[in-house]
Amino acid sequence: MTSFQAKVLEIVRKVPRGRVATYGQIARLAGSARAARAVGQLMANNTDPKSIPCHRVVGATGALIGYAFHGIVMKRKKLLREGVLFKDARVDLTTSLWNH
Protein backbone atom coordinates (compact mmCIF):
# COMPACT_ATOMS: atom_id res chain seq x y z
CA MET A 1 0.00 0.00 0.00
CA THR A 2 1.33 3.42 -0.93
CA SER A 3 1.40 6.33 1.51
CA PHE A 4 -1.28 8.05 -0.61
CA GLN A 5 -3.56 5.01 -0.32
CA ALA A 6 -2.99 4.82 3.43
CA LYS A 7 -3.89 8.52 3.77
CA VAL A 8 -7.05 8.03 1.71
CA LEU A 9 -8.22 5.17 3.92
CA GLU A 10 -7.43 7.15 7.07
CA ILE A 11 -9.45 10.13 5.78
CA VAL A 12 -12.44 8.04 4.65
CA ARG A 13 -12.57 6.41 8.10
CA LYS A 14 -13.16 9.90 9.54
CA VAL A 15 -16.20 10.77 7.39
CA PRO A 16 -19.03 10.68 9.97
CA ARG A 17 -22.49 9.15 9.68
CA GLY A 18 -24.89 11.49 7.95
CA ARG A 19 -22.15 13.17 5.91
CA VAL A 20 -20.43 12.50 2.61
CA ALA A 21 -17.15 13.50 1.01
CA THR A 22 -16.38 13.72 -2.68
CA TYR A 23 -13.67 11.70 -4.42
CA GLY A 24 -11.88 14.96 -5.24
CA GLN A 25 -12.15 16.22 -1.68
CA ILE A 26 -10.57 13.02 -0.39
CA ALA A 27 -7.80 13.26 -3.01
CA ARG A 28 -7.02 16.86 -1.99
CA LEU A 29 -6.98 15.99 1.69
CA ALA A 30 -4.61 13.10 0.95
CA GLY A 31 -2.23 15.47 -0.82
CA SER A 32 -2.93 14.77 -4.49
CA ALA A 33 -5.73 17.00 -5.78
CA ARG A 34 -5.79 15.38 -9.24
CA ALA A 35 -6.15 11.82 -7.95
CA ALA A 36 -9.94 11.56 -7.63
CA ARG A 37 -9.98 8.52 -9.93
CA ALA A 38 -7.35 6.81 -7.81
CA VAL A 39 -9.57 7.39 -4.78
CA GLY A 40 -12.45 5.84 -6.73
CA GLN A 41 -10.39 2.77 -7.58
CA LEU A 42 -9.37 2.36 -3.96
CA MET A 43 -12.99 2.63 -2.83
CA ALA A 44 -14.05 0.10 -5.50
CA ASN A 45 -11.51 -2.35 -4.11
CA ASN A 46 -12.43 -1.80 -0.47
CA THR A 47 -12.76 -5.11 1.35
CA ASP A 48 -13.67 -3.69 4.77
CA PRO A 49 -16.76 -1.48 4.45
CA LYS A 50 -17.44 -1.65 8.20
CA SER A 51 -14.30 0.31 9.07
CA ILE A 52 -13.83 2.12 5.75
CA PRO A 53 -17.26 3.62 4.92
CA CYS A 54 -16.77 3.89 1.16
CA HIS A 55 -20.51 4.44 0.68
CA ARG A 56 -19.95 7.94 2.08
CA VAL A 57 -17.78 8.94 -0.89
CA VAL A 58 -19.67 10.45 -3.83
CA GLY A 59 -19.05 12.30 -7.08
CA ALA A 60 -18.31 16.02 -7.24
CA THR A 61 -21.95 16.79 -8.09
CA GLY A 62 -23.34 14.52 -5.38
CA ALA A 63 -23.90 11.71 -7.88
CA LEU A 64 -23.77 8.19 -6.51
CA ILE A 65 -20.94 6.73 -8.51
CA GLY A 66 -20.45 3.01 -8.12
CA TYR A 67 -20.60 0.87 -5.02
CA ALA A 68 -19.02 -2.56 -4.82
CA PHE A 69 -21.53 -3.86 -2.27
CA HIS A 70 -24.80 -4.34 -4.19
CA GLY A 71 -24.58 -1.21 -6.35
CA ILE A 72 -25.77 2.37 -6.02
CA VAL A 73 -29.28 1.41 -4.92
CA MET A 74 -27.75 -0.01 -1.73
CA LYS A 75 -25.41 2.98 -1.43
CA ARG A 76 -28.43 5.31 -1.52
CA LYS A 77 -30.30 3.22 1.07
CA LYS A 78 -27.32 3.28 3.43
CA LEU A 79 -26.92 7.04 3.06
CA LEU A 80 -30.64 7.65 3.61
CA ARG A 81 -30.56 5.52 6.77
CA GLU A 82 -27.72 7.69 8.02
CA GLY A 83 -29.71 10.88 7.41
CA VAL A 84 -27.98 12.12 4.25
CA LEU A 85 -30.29 14.42 2.30
CA PHE A 86 -30.90 14.07 -1.44
CA LYS A 87 -32.14 16.30 -4.25
CA ASP A 88 -33.57 13.86 -6.76
CA ALA A 89 -30.90 11.22 -7.45
CA ARG A 90 -27.98 13.24 -6.04
CA VAL A 91 -26.79 13.92 -2.54
CA ASP A 92 -27.59 17.48 -1.46
CA LEU A 93 -24.04 18.64 -0.94
CA THR A 94 -25.15 21.95 0.56
CA THR A 95 -26.46 20.08 3.61
CA SER A 96 -24.60 16.76 3.67
CA LEU A 97 -21.03 17.53 2.61
CA TRP A 98 -18.48 16.77 5.33
CA ASN A 99 -16.58 19.84 6.50
CA HIS A 100 -13.36 18.29 7.67
What is the set of active-site residues?
Answer: 54
- Name residues whose C-beta falls within 8 Å of residue 87's C-beta, 6 or more positions apart in sequence: 62
- Name residues whose C-beta falls within 8 Å of residue 95's C-beta, 6 or more positions apart in sequence: 85
Instruction: Centre a 10 Å sphere on the Cβ of residue 35 and count the other Cβ atoms it contains.
Output: 19
Q: Check: CB of residue 22 under 8 Å from CB of residue 39.
A: no
Q: Check: CB of residue 18 under 8 Å from CB of residue 84.
A: yes
